[in-house]
Amino acid sequence: MKKIGIVTSGGDAPGMNAAIRAVVRLAHSRHMEVLGFERGWEGLLTNTSRPLGPRSVSGIINQGGTILYTSRCPEFQKKEGVLKAAEILDRNDVYGLVVIGGNGSFNGALDLSKESDTAIVGIPATIDNDVFGADETIGFDTAVNTAVSEIDKIRDTAISHERVFIIEVMGRTRGFLALTVGLTVGAEIILVPEVKFEKPDLIENIEDSRRRGKKSHIIVAAEGVGENRVLAKEIEERTKSEVRLSVLGYSQRGGAPTARSRYLACLFGDKAVELILNEERNKIVGLVGCEITAVDLEESAKSTKPLDLRLLELAKELAI
């Protein structure tokens, strides 16, 4: 009986548990055993794992976080760490390792793939949505909806006080979350790291939309844009109006996954198990449109997923 390992790595994302459930149950159904390593790469280095069967993953499809825990693991960034992990996989007789995580985790997985005979398959799960080869990652839709719900609430106050609000969302160095959130809350302005903006234009935009009769102003800014606190001050001084900054926090990373994040988790899990059964090696599960695909691990880890700038243009046109 073939044995599969699973590890969740990097920041947690809603739907990771749904993905674990899918991999465990489908592997079982296809006559493979599953071993869950705990605390990300650390579990591989310390050989901390537990066997997972269909009942071990009952009732977790709607749970945020990860039942396997996750952590940062500096040791794994060194060659010795990677060799040790490879050795542990070998010692446990792990035929295929499913790595559930984001771009950072896949870079680690790539290092490991070069030292290990175990077939490695990545499942993209991160609220940053920055995995090349996957139009959408597990957790992204949930984070978007969490941010949208909070901003819908903040708009009540923005309108009541006729204020400008800058709302900072997560996304690390990328603007995927900010762009989709901004478009779907009807933000007047969206700031993403991928596009430079000039402060005078921004001020002009605010004053112009006031002239058109807008009572409040929502600016959705990616955390990767930088000093949003400074920006808030500057807009306040220039426009002589109250500006508030709200930094949406870690709730974007937790909570029950949306149906779509669970749906992707089911389909990605299915594909990952299939890839291992088909003896494919060192791939990540991808998504192109509605099609579940597979991308070479190295290509995904080394490439940069582009942001759709036409959406930014559309959002601007919709905010008139």
Q: What are the catalytic residues?
A: 128
Q: Which of residues 146-205 bind a second copy (CB under 8 A)?
A: 146, 148-157, 159-162, 165, 167, 180-181, 183-186
**Between 83 and 239, CB nearer to a second copy:** 239
Integer Cα distance of 76 and 259 in angstroms? 34
223 lines the binding site for a second copy (CB under 8 A): no
The helix (H) or strand (E) run that includes residue 101 is strand 96-101
Q: Which of residues 243-302 bind a second copy (CB under 8 A)?
A: 244, 246-251, 253-256, 258-260, 262-263, 266-267, 270, 288-291
- Give phi and psi for 101, each to the nearest 5: 180, -160
Task: Calculate the alpha carbon distances from 210 to 147, 163, 203, 214 in Å.
Answer: 25, 11, 11, 5
In the complex, least distance from residue 64 CB atom to a second copy, rounded to whole angstroms: 3
**Between 110 and 235, CB nearer to a second copy:** 235
Collapsing DSSP states into helix, strand and coil, what is residue 244? strand
Kindly determine how many residues on this chain lie close enough to bind a second copy according to the rule CB under 8 A.
84
- Give the per-residue contact string, 44-83, with a second copy (x = CB under 8 A; - = no): ----------xx--xx-xxxxxx--xxxx-----------
**Between 32 and 181, CB nearer to a second copy:** 181
In the complex, least distance from residue 105 CB atom to a second copy, rounded to whole angstroms: 14
Q: In what order do the strands lie in the sheet with 243-247?
A: 189-191, 217-222, 164-169, 243-247
Measuring CA to CA, which residue among 16, 1, 26, 12 is closest to residue 272? Answer: 26
Integer Cα distance of 204 and 217 in angstroms? 13
**Between 197 and 263, CB nearer to a second copy:** 263
Q: Which of residues 127-146 bind a second copy (CB under 8 A)?
A: 135, 141, 144-146
